[in-house]
């Protein structure tokens, strides 16, 4: 299912949405399209679209967010395979700056690059892992944190495929906890 249409449907049905996405500038067209859907969006951009637990706390306790998504991204843009953060896990990234290295180390603590898969397969695998993390963390936070959004929270994940020149993209929803999601496909 087209990701922009899916998120737009959530918003039109009264959902407040949070999206974790990769900070890569190649994702700008996708990010712009998401922002154009609403004037209220909890948007978290991190290397590799890593889920940030502190952002979940803010979203649940102070922002009333009741739909959370995570988007990995892939493409061969200007001759380089992306996502660079996930691709870095396949080799030596020790020469990266200390802050970027720390971000990639944080990803590496959660995910081991699978050499038997192409980078796209690794990005999808990582994104699914982040979806599972959201699926575990959100119910725990609803139970243990004061003043959180209660009730049904929708969790979804997707993949953004950047064009070779980064001017266009295709974004699809891979998985959603929404009831009847398969019927929408």
Judge whether 147 lies within some domain: yes
Of the candidates 69, 29, 78, the one whose C-alpha atom is nearest the C-alpha of residue 49 is: 69
In order of 56, 124, 144, the CA distances from 106 in angstroms are 17, 18, 24
Judge whether 121 lies within some domain: yes
DSSP character at residue 2: B
Judge whether 180 lies within some domain: no
Domain of residue 132: give its range: 3-175
Instruction: Give yes or no for a contact between 55 and 134, defined as CB atoms under 8 angstroms apart.
Output: no
Instruction: Give yes or no for a contact between 18 and 55, defined as CB atoms under 8 angstroms apart.
Output: yes
Which DSSP string corresponds to 44-66? EEEGGG---HHHHHHHHHTS---
Of the candidates 22, 13, 12, 141, the one whose C-alpha atom is nearest the C-alpha of residue 70 is: 22
| CATH code, 146 | 3.40.1050.10
Judge whether 182 lies within some domain: no
Judge whether 113 lies within some domain: yes
Judge whether 183 lies within some domain: no
pTM of the model as a whole: 0.94
Q: How many domains does the chain have?
A: 1
Residue pointed to by tokens 């009831």: 179
* pLDDT tens by residue, 160-183: 999 999 889 999 999 999 987 775
* pLDDT tens by residue, 33-51: 999 998 889 999 999 999 9
Strand partners, 74: 161
Judge whether 78 lies within some domain: yes
Judge whether 128 lies within some domain: yes
DSSP character at residue 165: T
Q: Which phi and psi angles does 154 have, rounded to 5°?
A: -90, 135
Q: What is the pLDDT of residue 183?
A: 56
* pLDDT tens by residue, 57-113: 999 999 999 999 999 999 999 888 889 899 999 999 999 999 999 999 999 999 999
């Amino acid at each position: 299912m087209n990701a922009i249409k899916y998120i737009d449907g959530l918003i039109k049905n009264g959902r407040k949405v949070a999206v974790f996405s990769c900070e890569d500038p190649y994702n700008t067209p996708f990010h712009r399209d998401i922002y154009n859907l609403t004037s209220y969006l909890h948007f978290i951009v991190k290397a590799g679209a890593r889920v940030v637990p502190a952002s979940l706390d803010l979203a649940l306790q102070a922002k009333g967010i009741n739909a959370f998504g995570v988007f990995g991204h892939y493409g061969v843009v200007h001759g380089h395979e992306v996502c660079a953060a996930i691709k870095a896990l396949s080799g030596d990234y020790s020469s990266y700056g200390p802050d970027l290295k720390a971000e990639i180390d944080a990803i590496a603590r959660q995910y081991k690059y699978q050499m038997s898969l192409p980078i796209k397969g690794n990005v999808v695998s990582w994104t699914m892992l982040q979806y599972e993390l959201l699926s575990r963390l959100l119910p725990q936070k609803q139970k243990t944190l004061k003043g959180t959004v209660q009730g049904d929270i929708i969790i979804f994940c997707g993949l953004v495929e950047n064009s070779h020149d980064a001017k266009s993209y295709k974004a699809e929803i891979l998985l959603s906890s929404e009831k009847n999601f398969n019927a929408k496909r």
